[in-house]
Amino acid sequence: MPDSRTLILAGLLVPALVGAQAPSQAPDVRALMLKARTLQLRGGGSDPEGAAALYRKVVALVPQSAEAHLRLSEALQESRDLDGALVEARKAVGLAPQNGEARAHLALLEVERGQTESSALPQAQKDLEAAVDLLPQDPELWARLGEVSEQIKDAPEALHAWLRLGRLRPSFTPAWERAYLQAVATRDYAAKREAVLALNQHHPDERQLRMLEELAREQIQAGFLAHAEESFLLLAKHLPDEAALWENISLIRLQTSRFQEALNSLARAEALRPSPRITLNTALALMNLGRFSEAEDRLTPLAAGPGSGDAVANGVRALYAECLLLEGKGAQVVAFMKSQAPSPQIAGEMQVYLSQAYISLDDWKPALAAIRDGIQRYPKVAFFAQAATLPPHALEYRFFSRKKARTALEQLHKEGMAALWQEFRRWDKCLQAIEEARALGPMRDVDLLVMQSSAYEQLGRPQDALRVLREAQKMAPGNPLVGNNLGYLMLEQGQDLPEAAALIEASAKATPDNGNVLDSLGWAQFKLGKVAEAEATLRRAADLSPFSPDVRQHLGEVLLAQGKLEEAADQWERALAFVFPEHAALEKRLDDLRFRIARKQAKPVVEPAQPDREDADEEMP
């Protein structure tokens, strides 16, 4: 069947030839071109040699016609004269370098030559690259470029070609398969992610689903939690009855402080396969949302049952005791503790809750006994370490009629409750408990002042936060935590930069493996103009604290300042998995940065008009 596309092209282009000749020659050229076309194989004929002879006559008449040289090259290719076809194709390109059809024809001839002469492949790649610049929507050219680049082991160019082909033909699986292999070879995360997601969009096989699961786990390790969630959601789309997938989604949402969304996915998992672990995580999400009575209802049946001593059972019992304390149900905590002995892994923690429960009930004799027992058995637990600093008579019931002794224990209890409220981000309750503790007596622990500062900061009271940290600095001048938090808050408030940097540097020397402190140090270095040092410091911080949105935001900012746009965007992608006040602003900045990157990478190509082609995906070479 004649190639209608090329016939149309001939009909369009022959008038240009005619215009280049004297009027007396024009009819002969037109007739020769049309006759030659009918003899070509692609024109429906069977005499390419005859076609070539006629085209030679045309070339003799109009030697500067790119069209004539191009058609002669085609006829010579059909006649299996590859050398001659290449000569004519190069002439056509030389005469019309912006002619996409001529470029594509030459490139494909070079590919054909490369199948028998590997030395020709680099030139084939070069010509293909020129052709795809002119015809970026031609899938065959991208396929050939991918194949040739693979043959000469140019993995980056092969990856680029297969990705472009996949985007042109999204359902053409081989393009994505080969893009995946090249992405693995080049360790290109973004390309690997794109290929794996594309392979799993519609009807993936078991191997492709495994690739997606492996990608999700790699994304978690690399800190791309939003991407990991996306991968698990796609897996769940194809395997909707797999409860473990919904659990994984829930864990990511819990870690990124998206508690309501975590509840939704936990409900899906529980409907498929209930388990104590799902109940534990559901209660944790509820408590972070301030829904303590609902959490208690979920935990009560498990907490009352026989304990297995594993991590989930221990987590249920500890969380249940915390929930009861936060609800003001000290009597139930005591009854619960009397009903069973805690496992050794959580015994110290549970002894704290028992002591606090007795104090909340003003039941002083058993409270003192529980605290003395805790000091003896769990001296490294913070609550009991603090209790051990109280005067000895404060822990003897015979002296307990003294108000001062009771006040010391009440203060200890309030401090413990502040720590519990902080754990569940109830900053108003946390601050209230701290203020009540401070009203009972002077501060004995600088960590409580740090906690109070954090509560003020979270409640939008930065000046109060700074004031309390100054108080902590006087109380413990060399404390690394105080120095870091004070220095960082000064940075954020635009205060004395040299003093802030000095405080943070001292903290970093004292705690060189603390990711949060290194984050502060890197940010201070950046503000001081030490950009290269800041990058190195923040990369170290990211290794130590891969799930810190602050580290990712700061590292992205430093990379952006150095023109490392793609890396900066990756860091901000990691940060945006989390919930934080500046989320919307950073999301907008990332969108702008992605647009900037795309504009930078785009080539200003004026694409010539192309006839329609009916290439089906399954017919792709």
DSSP of 309-364: -SHHHHHHHHHHHHHHHHTT-HHHHHHHHHHSPPPGGGHHHHHHHHHHHHHHTT-H
Residues 202-224, mean pLDDT to the nearest whole number: 95
Mean pLDDT of the chain: 90
Residue 216 pLDDT greater than 50, yes or no: yes
> Which of 4-18, 111-125, 324-338, 515-529 has the least mean pLDDT?
4-18
Domains belonging to the chain, first-starting first, are 1-96 (1.25.40.10), 290-427 (1.25.40), 445-512 (1.25.40.10), 514-609 (1.25.40.10)
- Which long-range contacts link 137-143 to residues 24+ away (Cβ below 8 Å)? 137/168, 137/607, 137/610, 138/100, 138/104, 138/610, 138/613, 139/165, 139/168, 139/169, 139/172, 139/615, 139/620, 140/108, 140/615, 140/620, 140/621, 141/104, 141/107, 141/108, 142/168, 143/175, 143/620, 143/621
| Residue 448 CB partners (closer than 8 Å, separation 6+) | 415, 418, 434, 437
Give per-residue pLDDT as tens, 536-570: 999 999 999 999 999 999 999 999 999 999 999 99
Closest listed residue to residue 543, CA positions, set 565, 522, 564, 560: 522
The whole-number pLDDT of residue 354 equals 97
The whole-number pLDDT of residue 618 equals 36
Q: Determine how many CB atoms are found less than 10 A away from the CB of residue 46.
A: 10
Answer with the residue of higher pLDDT: 31 or 194.
194
Closest listed residue to residue 286, CA positions, set 311, 250, 313, 317: 250
Closest listed residue to residue 354, CA positions, set 386, 376, 398, 322: 322
Answer with the residue of higher pLDDT: 374 or 1.
374
pLDDT band at 236 (very low <50, low <70, confident <90, very high): very high
pLDDT band at 307 (very low <50, low <70, confident <90, very high): low
Give per-residue pLDDT as tens, 82-134: 999 999 999 999 999 999 999 999 999 999 999 999 999 999 999 999 999 99
Closest listed residue to residue 591, CA positions, set 573, 609, 577: 573
Round to whole Å and give the CA distance between 16 and 20: 7
Please state whether the predicted TM-score (pTM) of the whole model is above 0.85: no
The whole-number pLDDT of residue 603 equals 55
| Residue 72 CB partners (closer than 8 Å, separation 6+) | 52, 55, 56, 58, 59, 88
Residue 195 pLDDT greater than 90, yes or no: yes
The whole-number pLDDT of residue 605 equals 44
User: Would you say the C-alpha torsion 413, 418, 424, 428 has a positive or negative sign?
Assistant: positive
pLDDT band at 16 (very low <50, low <70, confident <90, very high): very low
The whole-number pLDDT of residue 402 equals 62
Round to whole Å and give the CA distance between 160 and 145: 9
> Which of 175-184, 271-280, 396-405 has the least mean pLDDT?
396-405
The whole-number pLDDT of residue 17 equals 40
